[in-house]
Amino acid sequence: MNFNDKPTFMKKMQQVARKVDRKIDDEQCDVFFDDLKDFSIEVIERAMDLALRDRDPDDVFLRRAMLTTPEIRQAAEELINKKKETGKLGCEKCLPTKGWILEIAKSGRAIAHPCDCLADIVRRELNAKNRTRASRIDDKHREDILVAYEMSKLR
């Protein structure tokens, strides 16, 4: 994060504080900001939500306790590691569009079809063992991507 992300960060911290029925001042936000500036603002925002969600709902103390820097840092590192596990998306053919190849038809209409790298990642995700219910939610979209990939190979 850089200095320009500080208002967004403070707004998110105040939102998290309200969720646990606490108040947070600017000095506390500055301390959190300095401790977490290694990560991007998008990762930190998602990590705060994940850290709150991962807490034990039966623990009376944690229901009202403010998030700590180690909790947020751990959730952020898990998010980053999860992104690394999914594989590199965007080869030399599809780098600007991250997995999709854009072609212009003779009629002037733009046509996009999935790249090989996207199809490989989708296949790995569909064939993965020990999948959770959350990971199966997007299976219809994954199957549509594979159908579009196979149809583009037939052309």
The pair phi, psi for residue 115, each rounded to 5°, is: -85, 170
Domain ranges of the chain: 3-85, 95-154
pLDDT single digits (tens) 3-32: 888 999 999 999 999 988 889 999 999 999
From 23, 67, 32, select the one nearest 9 (Cα to Cα). Answer: 32
- The model's pTM is 0.55
Q: What is the pLDDT of residues 81-130, one digit of tens each?
A: 876 555 566 777 787 777 888 888 889 898 888 888 888 888 988 888 88
